């Protein structure tokens, strides 16, 4: 293929707008041709950050109006629409980057994966932490035996404010575990290079009435058991008021490796009241470079015709854990993955 990849973005919500700006300004070899949104406000914001980009109201209008000028698509629509959008784009031969998770259930995962395989197109999933320098170095250390045999995986993941109820609705987002804990679940598999075989979850709508009103929880704790015996404990929150908290630790029989930081900039103020520093408030702030790196990898895979490092099968395996943990949350007991 040509060195320039003509790409469209489906959906310009919070993560979609980040991808749009990166594709327009920071990803070498990519040319952002169009975006989709039915919101006039979002369309104006997309043009503000990306320049004079074409805007279509939905995927069907995009394919009808610009499909012949596209090589690839990045899907950042609502999670409930991911699988259908993948199937539709695969049918017209577009290379596909899809935000996590691939779908809300295993059947839709398999349908999307099959569609991409049948069409002979690439399908890469947005596992952004695999492109974050801290996580990459932690995996290297674990692989080289620096901490011995992994015994325990621990993670904390918290957003400052919950999403609106329209998104928090489990029918749209998959619920707290599938949506907000997804990254921790796949990082657990990736760092330990092991599969999860059992999950147990506790959670509650303890803070936010909007989340409670749609039948989801805003805080949850999940325990995992891995195939080789290691254990995991994960905490996720939609109400982490002090900042975007993200910490991961893997404890081995010879040491431990920790990922995460509180400071966004390496500056501390010391005064009579104590020590003060800033903190990331959103995931685009914390993972700015990693979001660029994952899209650069996707574009490079197309240009050089190589396989994506994150596949639909990786997302399916992660969703299987999330589905089991969500079932455990509702049933009150451990669930086999």
CATH superfamily, domain at 130-286+318-336: Dihydrodipicolinate Reductase; domain 2 (3.30.360.10)
Could you give the residue range(s) of every CATH 3.40.50.720 domain in the chain? 5-128+289-311
pTM greater than 0.85:
yes
pLDDT at 1: 47
Q: pLDDT tens digit string along 28-54?
A: 999 999 999 999 999 999 999 999 899
Q: pLDDT tens digit string along 202-255?
A: 999 999 999 999 999 999 999 999 999 999 999 999 998 888 888 999 999 999
Q: pLDDT tens digit string along 271-328?
A: 788 777 777 776 677 777 999 999 999 999 999 999 999 999 999 999 999 999 999 9
Could you give the residue range(s) of every CATH 3.30.360.10 domain in the chain? 130-286+318-336
Q: pLDDT tens digit string along 183-209?
A: 999 999 999 999 999 999 999 999 999
Task: Out of 3.40.605.10, 3.40.50.720, 2.30.30.90, 3.90.226.30, select the CATH number for domain 5-128+289-311.
Answer: 3.40.50.720
Sheet holding 150-158, edge to edge: 256-259, 245-252, 150-158, 231-237, 219-226, 196-204, 335-336
Question: Quick one: which H or E segment has residue 220?
Answer: strand 219-226
What sign has the CA pseudo-torsion 324, 203, 139, 255?
Answer: negative
């Amino acid at each position: 293929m040509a060195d320039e990849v003509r790409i469209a973005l489906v959906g310009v919500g919070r993560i979609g707008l980040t991808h749009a700006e990166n594709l327009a300004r920071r990803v070498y070899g990519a040319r952002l041709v169009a975006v989709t949104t039915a919101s006039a406000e979002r369309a104006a914001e997309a043009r503000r950050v990306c320049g004079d980009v074409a805007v279509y109201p939905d995927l069907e209008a995009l394919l009808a109006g610009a499909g012949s000028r596209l090589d690839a698509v990045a899907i950042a629509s609502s999670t409930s629409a991911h699988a259908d959008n993948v199937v539709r784009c695969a049918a017209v031969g577009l290379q596909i980057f899809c935000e996590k998770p691939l779908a809300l259930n295993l059947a839709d995962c398999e349908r999307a994966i099959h569609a991409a395989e049948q069409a002979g197109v690439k399908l890469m999933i947005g596992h952004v932490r695999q492109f974050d320098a801290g996580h990459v170095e932690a995996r290297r250390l674990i692989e080289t035996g620096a901490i011995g045999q992994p015994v325990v995986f621990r993670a904390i993941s918290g957003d400052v404010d919950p999403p609106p109820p329209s998104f928090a609705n489990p029918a749209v987002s998959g619920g707290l575990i599938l949506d907000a804990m997804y990254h921790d679940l796949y990082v657990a598999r990736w760092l330990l290079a092991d599969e999860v075989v059992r999950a147990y979850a506790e959670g509650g709508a303890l803070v936010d009435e909007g989340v409670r009103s749609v039948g989801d929880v805003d805080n949850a704790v999940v325990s995992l058991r891995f195939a080789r015996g290691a254990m995991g404990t994960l905490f996720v929150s939609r109400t982490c008021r002090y900042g975007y908290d993200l910490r991961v630790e893997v404890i081995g029989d010879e040491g431990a490796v920790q990922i995460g930081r509180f400071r966004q900039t390496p500056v501390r103020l010391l005064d009579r009241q104590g020590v003060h520093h800033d903190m990331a408030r959103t995931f685009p702030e914390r993972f700015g470079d990693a979001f660029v790196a994952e899209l650069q990898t996707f574009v490079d895979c197309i240009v050089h015709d190589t396989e994506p490092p994150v596949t639909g099968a990786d997302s399916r395996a992660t969703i299987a854990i999330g589905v089991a943990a969500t079932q455990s949350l509702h049933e009150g007991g451990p669930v086999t993955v």
